Chain A
Amino acid sequence: MSATTLFDKLWDSHVVNRREGFPDVLYIDRHYIHEVTSPQAFDGLRKRGIPVARPDRTTATADHNVPTKDQHLPIKEALSRFQVETLRKNCREFGIELYDLLHPFQGIVHIIGPELGLTQPGMTMVCGDSHTSTHGAFGSIAFGIGTSEVEQVLATQCILQYKPKQMRIEVNGKLGKGVLSKDIILYIISQISSSGGNGYFVEYAGSAITNLSMEARMTICNMSIEMGARGGLIAPDQTTFDYVKGRKFAPQGEAFEEAIAYWKTLKTDEGAQYDKVLTFNAEDIEPMITYGTNPGMGIGITERIPTVAELKDHREEASFKKSLEYMALEPGSQLLGKSLDYVFIGSCTNARIEDLRLVADFVKGKRKAANVEVLVIPGSKQVEQQAIREGLDKVFEEAGFELRSPGCSACLGMNEDKVPAGKYCISTSNRNFEGRQGPGARTFLASPLSAAAAAITGKVTDVRELI
């Protein structure tokens, strides 16, 4: 047999039907759903008069527009309440497990799946949300889908898909002080642009990747979509197995040993071909920050924003200018020292317990600057509870940070957590699009450490000078 990639192996073993000129029928092991992209799909089932094929393979949570304060009270905003109530009704009617507000397992869908052990190596997983790519960190195929596709999976546990092209991204070497996995991925996207991964599924490899914890790997895979890729994965190894072991829905005892035996086979063969291979050096990466309105518009923290003349592609000129105008920034200027108004530590990119620990560790005994408001939104109820058990809540309180209840929050501003128009926010989330954090809001994407440093100084800061 010829050498194949991990992606090939996983894909091919999940193809139920293949027909010339038609998309593959791909079997889905786990389907995550949330309140925003599922209602129309359930509506579709109802119109067709069919049930959910495999409610046991479907997991629901409420995350996108839930409030992060007073979660025990009815949701104030009428439409948000309606969507969450619709999800409840649909889950009841179709027999799906829902981790609703206040449930100990509730949280951002891409945080709870791995944390509950629902996400496992070798699986295929989908969700009506582009950051489903997060779950690829376990050596599985995971990608975001549209609502019509959610309906396909609800109806048949399968989805129609063409096999994407494959790219390998290797990052080798040792990360510098104060450089996190978020900086790796922001760096890669800044190098290849927000459309550089279009049409590809990415496998990340190299020593800088395999040295990362599972949490940090998830941050990398999470943002695969921000370079336009369908998803990203990392071959499972001992770090992966140790993370999965003992989690609520992971195989237990003998079943776990059997699972590991299989998971160990999940690797790309020596000599397997990719459509594209990129290699980067970890030593070249400094803490990153974005200056524009797509995640590809990133620079090292000590670098200047490019000038029009320095643009790699002159066709980008119009959107570059529009973007800087929106951000009220000058081409060629530095971001270091730029005064901020908000700091948002949260989202499926960086709101796992490791992120909160890192931030707490840095801010311990320090106090936030007077000019910034700092929001810390844990990714899940479990992260929140763990943070409290470890006393991180006290650290945040003393620093003047506000620790709230879990949800997507100001990552997309669907609930009341919005950044006001014209204000600057340094954010650990994944998108800096116009209006993403609220109409007119201006977002700088960065790592949790860079965000923590900015919270203390009140301005864009090189965290390396403070550690």
Chain B
Amino acid sequence: MQKEKFKSLTSTVVPLPIENIDTDQIIPARFLKATTREGFGENLFRDWRFDNNGNKKDFILNNPNYYGDILVAAKNFGCGSSREHAAWAIHDYGFKVVISSFFADIFKNNALNNGLLPVQVSDEFLSKIWAQLEADPHSTIEVNLEAQKVILADGSSESFDINPYKKACLLNGYDDIDYLLSLKDRITQFESAN
């Protein structure tokens, strides 16, 4: 099914300089009960954003100084449970890109399957991002998918890897099932041969 096409994006950034953020923090298990893909953004980082009484806590998403389409997190983002809801929640909240110096495998796949672009940068480049945001929380970052580059406000940049298949999918808004269904005859052949 046709999804949104993604080519390039320039936006302010929400920084989350915490390592090993697991999917239980991104979307706690008690919010997994919906049966559609929408609406999970409301409970993104629920227990970090709100206390048990629903009062806002001191957390970056509650800080009006930080907003934008890009989330930046420290190493090993999205570890833990394979729940795809984590990717939906981030996307549904409004983020289009997550930058980190390392992503857990399943999270990365889930993100790519759902139009959320995970961008892996070096530890050094990540430090530069933290420095830029510290100097100016309102500064922007450009993520160019066509060129596979992240570009900071001072013009410095780093290339990122993305698999050519996923890149084609994101650029064209093409989806995995469209591709698999196009191979139906081959699958049937395989089944009768085995």
Contact = CB atoms under 8 A, between A and B. Distances in A.
B11 interface: no
B65 interface: no
Contacts of B30: 413-414, 439
Contacts of B181: 50, 155-156
B80 interface: yes
A378 interface: no
Contacts of B84: 37, 40, 128, 146-148
B105 interface: yes
B159 interface: no
Contact of A157 (B18, B109, B187): B187
B94 to A, nearest CB: 19
B113 A194 contact: no
A2 B46 CA distance: 52
Contacts of A439: 28, 30, 47, 52
A414 B29 contact: yes
B119 to A, nearest CB: 17
B148 interface: no
A225 B80 CA distance: 8
A129 interface: yes
A36 interface: yes
Given A130-B106, A194-B20, A431-B80, A156 B187 contact: yes
Interface in A143-164: 144-149, 151-152, 155-158, 160, 162
Contact of B19 (A40, A43, A129, A319): A319
A100 B104 CA distance: 33
A313 to B, nearest CB: 10
Contact of B177 (A79, A151, A436): A151
A433 B80 contact: yes
A40 B84 CA distance: 10
A195 B102 contact: yes
B177 A152 contact: yes
A437 B28 CA distance: 11
Nearest to A154: B177
Interface in B147-192: 163-165, 176-177, 179-181, 183-184, 186-187, 190-191
Contact of B1 (A47, A145, A433): A47
A198 B183 contact: no
A27 B83 contact: no
B35 A86 contact: yes
Contacts of A39: 34-36
A318 interface: yes
B105 A199 contact: yes
A315 interface: yes
A195 B78 CA distance: 11
B186 A17 contact: yes
A23 B33 CA distance: 31
B142 interface: no
A228 interface: yes
Nearest to A198: B105
A309 B148 CA distance: 39
A100 B37 CA distance: 24
Contacts of A436: 24, 29
B35 A40 contact: yes
A319 B79 CA distance: 14
A135 interface: no
B27 to A, nearest CB: 11
A118 to B, nearest CB: 18
A318 B180 contact: no
A331 to B, nearest CB: 17
Given A48-B1, A294-B20, A146 B180 contact: no
Given A40-B35, A294-B22, 10 more contacts: A17-B186, A44-B177, A82-B35, A146-B82, A160-B165, A194-B20, A199-B105, A319-B19, A413-B29, A414-B32
26 contacts: A22-B164, A25-B180, A25-B187, A27-B191, A36-B83, A37-B82, A39-B34, A40-B37, A48-B1, A79-B34, A80-B33, A82-B35, A130-B82, A146-B87, A148-B110, A156-B177, A156-B184, A198-B105, A294-B80, A421-B52, A431-B24, A433-B25, A434-B25, A435-B24, A435-B28, A439-B30
List 6 A-B pairs, minimum CB-CB distance, nearest first: A39-B35, A146-B84, A79-B33, A130-B82, A148-B113, A146-B110
